[in-house]
Structure 1
């Protein structure tokens, strides 16, 4: 699970020993903890490897198919559709297929580079066709897991973690990309395919990158445009399609995994919707969990539901023991492993994930549920910043201004921001050109969330803790996305961000009706908003929901005090590490804020500086 890496020799024959050493350094930097194993293959002019947890002895390693002369390596979760499986099995009756990954060489032999169209899941796949001397790097349709690329002209290098490339020693120089830093400041992540390191890029979503002896070729094999239908299914038919698609997606996770599955259950709606399906067919294999302070809604609500319904639940308390003994390490690791994208407030993930190994090595989450299902009103958050929302609201006609002030007193002090404006505008122009095929903001936002938000936020999250566990969300399943996009419930077919009551009621009723159809009693318990799903299905309950949703959630969150404790602790850590710059960073978001800058910028500035300081100490000194 930890990741994959590789070197493909393109032109001049570099000394083999040098590339061997570079590859071993790359492979050693993939895992984030010592409890990892690795597999490697060196053949012809390529070096490929994979790192995965020792506890997962059956983790698929290198693809090695001498009969077809196809070799490779896979990262992530791969699901082969049933029709393709049946076809491959029928044509290869002598082969005993024991894993999804085993089908890949046969699908490639049959469909060439179109093999990827017969897969779903979240993956990066490298294949080498020895007969043609062809190397192929592909990812899934939304490019969920990051794949970093560096091309020196002589070698093509790829890795799941950016540090793996930095550690190779094959880069002519290492420097920070100031425009990428500006993107991260304003949007929370990069909207372009540039990384925070100059000359290291990320693989675009739905990409097939071919490297041949006589050159290379890169194609995009899918676009969110393909999801749009002329006449979406109305409520009744749409509901049935969505219900079936969620059932299939959740069954896919259980069917392709042995043992129990850990489901995130908080005070929100998405986890409860997922749980309603799991308790139907897979109750004996379902184990729920959440984390939070003792009296927070994310502990109290799931604990109440589990006790009443009789299913297994494990709370992970973020108490003073966690704050004092575990928070510093988990906060630092969260920032480092996400390239500064995920701030210290997301630290509990890396505290909880190792502890989950005793329960399951697969998490079934509600990730991307809000983004996929809800569309009535967008609010600035870690997922989508105020600057990004304003950019979309303007129909991509009013570009965010380059944040000059970020470079006047900040850590990139040797950078003249005025020299970077052309590059800033060039990147935004590229995004605007990409959006030009759509005729309204709703379709443009749908494209953005499936090609940027899903991978740049949620993908980086999963990549930061995949040394411990895989993560599956039915809301990110391509078959579900396709089915949902055919219905009137999809935001594509409604005005963008108009905050209409009827739009909110449409989706609230969808959530409630799906839960009640699959496990009715789950709808009666309050959510973290102070009302239940049952409430949104009747007139009196709607009045209750309307009055409480403005006040209850904020009050419940305030009671936990967790963010306040961790913020203060990280401030202390940051002040200790950067005493000269701490005060100006602490005051920056309030004293120098520009219109459209993310309101949570303080943690962003601190987290990104922390990451840059770490990279500087590791690779530039």
Structure 2
């Protein structure tokens, strides 16, 4: 995804410039990116950036009128209009659709300007008046900064591959990080998949002078939100409704076209109920599959119709399967090995979404923030998959996860799950377009910390908000049968939907081993036609056995794959044979090992 790059090193000027350009080149994933460099030899500062053309950060480097303060910035800030108006009254000239206002906010507020920023971002500010640079990111850590430091230099980048590109000695997997990735689908805390490469913690403010880091501090502490008083139910609802309606226009305000990514759930329904857009001016779309229109597609179509907006279905079909090898490899590469190969549909579908609008509004995080939904967990791999010598790392992963899970339920999501796990898909989405969600707006998150407990585990508040803002939308059932007009018929229909939701989950990739034997015996009946496509648009248990079987076998039967030190090589061969035969289900295991093998080939082995 677009981002920033930096080398802080006062020696080897020519080499630093050469390396900087190599780092930028490794992050130029698409022809619609812009890039540039900023160099200050005297302080040993070598900075670069990539960005979407015409985006909020496509104005680098930003400088003040006297040109003694410069800013390299990536991401977006959703500033309150009053803040921008205040800067204008003080005589500052800037384009409110770009990051140009931020340099003036620093002039007025000093380093405290970071607390006032609302969004996902990272950046480096160079103040020549004090001969210092400040490296920073958003309070959640959603715009990653990977870094490596030693006694001679400090390197950082929004993508780890940029560091691997110029320092081959860093191309080693970290076993603890690998164990966490296998167990949790991501790496925990501020470690990464790579030895001696770490993540800048969220809310960081690291200061550099004379070519070295002199201070590592934070500008935001979660306790300032956690310690707020709890509101009563009616006060909370009233403030949530007002705040949500107030902040939504920030996310739809853009000089570029904005599209609404609709699902059949409540999170995007709330957005549609509260945002008032002219008829026909907000293109809506839903990701769909090849077998049938899913509930997501059917319901989203109704929602768009009620709101008098056009709706499109972006289909994951045979073209995706034909391009899967290329898409899987590019997804793994862009995400620095974090996005699993099976999620290559994110790259494919977001590329299609960009053709509709380069900015995508989603409901991401809504369920987790408003209703405490948690699907993030540590899961031990199947017995026999890994070399027994690796078991300690799997146990450590579970222990670490259990420890961090004890945080405040909201803090766990926004300061742990979102930047560690949610970021992974976000990184590939952002490679294609600009993805926004209003649910992690600072004003919303701060308020939800004050929610009474009884409102954080049910659908009552979201349903009420939808009904109050657009009653017609409240009459439409969600994909899980929630809402709508309550009667005996709707109750039966909800039970029917829930049955097929769970049945598709098992048939799609969660089928237990004992049931796969029966399923293989019934294969001639093609029962997948009954279950698949009602709720999901990707079906890898079947695809790994059919359309994608040859690619999987070519990669995982290769000598390089079967000799990886963390694998039980004999089990790998057995696993592939049994899954392809259809009498065992190893969908998740194949996906993980396929991803790791691509990671080795694209980023480690050279």
TM-score bracket for the superposition, by shorter chain length: 0.7 to 0.9
Residue 208 of structure 2 corresponds to residue 208 of structure 1: no
- What is the aligned counterpart of 2:287 among 284, 291, 297? 291
Q: 1:276 to 1:47 in 2, by over 3 A?
A: same
Residue 423 of structure 2 corresponds to residue 463 of structure 1: no
| Residues 179 and 393 in structure 2, CA contact (< 8 A), matched pair in contact too | no
| Residues 247 and 277 in structure 1, CA contact (< 8 A), matched pair in contact too | yes
Residue 301 of structure 2 corresponds to residue 303 of structure 1: yes
Matches within 5 A, 1:170-569: 172-213=169-210, 215-229=213-227, 231-255=229-253, 257-278=254-275, 280-281=276-277, 283-293=279-289, 294-307=292-305, 309-324=307-322, 326-375=323-372, 378=374, 381=375, 384-387=376-379, 408=387, 417=390, 424=396, 432=403, 441=406, 443-488=407-452, 493=453, 504=457, 507-529=458-480, 531-535=481-485, 538=486, 543-544=491-492, 547-548=495-496, 550-555=498-503, 558-560=531-533, 562-564=538-540, 565-568=542-545, 569=547
Paired residue secondary structure (1:121)? coil
For 1:6 and 1:131, the matched residues in 2 are separated by 20
Following superposition, the deviation at residue 421 of structure 1 comes to 9.3
For 2:131 and 2:262, the matched residues in 1 are separated by 48
| Residues 6 and 47 in structure 2, CA contact (< 8 A), matched pair in contact too | yes
Q: 1:49 to 1:403 in 2, by over 3 A?
A: farther
Show the counterpart of 1:30.
27
Q: CA-to-partner distance for each residue in 1:538-583, whole Å, 9 max, x for gaps?
A: 5758854773464142356733173144444445323212215387
For 1:562 and 1:99, the matched residues in 2 are separated by 37
Q: 1:230 to 1:103 in 2, by over 3 A?
A: closer
Following superposition, the deviation at residue 262 of structure 1 comes to 0.9
Q: 1:96 to 1:444 in 2, by over 3 A?
A: closer
| Residues 279 and 308 in structure 2, CA contact (< 8 A), matched pair in contact too | no
| Residues 224 and 446 in structure 1, CA contact (< 8 A), matched pair in contact too | no
Show the counterpart of 2:571.
584
Matches within 5 A, 1:52-71: 52-54=51-53, 59-65=58-64, 67=66, 69-71=68-70
Q: 1:430 to 1:610 in 2, by over 3 A?
A: closer
Paired residue secondary structure (1:291)? strand
Alignment root-mean-square deviation, CA: 3.3
TM-score relative to the length of structure 2: 0.82
| Residues 170 and 194 in structure 2, CA contact (< 8 A), matched pair in contact too | no
Q: CA-to-partner distance for each residue in 1:407-433, whole Å, 9 max, x for gaps?
A: 527xxxxxx6489799x58x967995x
Following superposition, the deviation at residue 137 of structure 1 comes to 0.9
Aligned length, in residue pairs: 555
| Residues 516 and 523 in structure 1, CA contact (< 8 A), matched pair in contact too | yes
TM-score relative to the length of structure 1: 0.81
| Residues 57 and 98 in structure 2, CA contact (< 8 A), matched pair in contact too | no
| Residues 68 and 105 in structure 1, CA contact (< 8 A), matched pair in contact too | no
For 2:114 and 2:264, the matched residues in 1 are separated by 37
Q: 1:141 to 1:405 in 2, by over 3 A?
A: farther
For 2:56 and 2:445, the matched residues in 1 are separated by 32
Note the residue ranges of structure 1 that are not aligned, 5 or more in a row. 388-399, 410-415, 436-440, 495-501, 592-597
Following superposition, the deviation at residue 350 of structure 1 comes to 0.9
Show the counterpart of 2:112.
114
Q: CA-to-partner distance for each residue in 1:92-150, whole Å, 9 max, x for gaps?
A: x1534444511222222333222100110000011111122211111111111211111
Which of the pair has the greater relative contact order for Cα pairs under 8 Å at 6+ separation?
A: 1
Q: CA-to-partner distance for each residue in 1:509-529, whole Å, 9 max, x for gaps?
A: 222111122222122223222
Paired residue secondary structure (1:191)? coil
Paired residue secondary structure (2:102)? helix
| Residues 81 and 119 in structure 1, CA contact (< 8 A), matched pair in contact too | no
Paired residue secondary structure (2:413)? helix
Following superposition, the deviation at residue 584 of structure 1 comes to 3.1
| Residues 48 and 72 in structure 1, CA contact (< 8 A), matched pair in contact too | no
Following superposition, the deviation at residue 185 of structure 1 comes to 1.2
Paired residue secondary structure (1:302)? helix
Q: 1:291 to 1:341 in 2, by over 3 A?
A: same
Q: 1:460 to 1:66 in 2, by over 3 A?
A: farther
Note the residue ranges of structure 2 that are not aligned, 5 or more in a row. 506-530, 563-568, 579-585
Show the counterpart of 2:600.
612
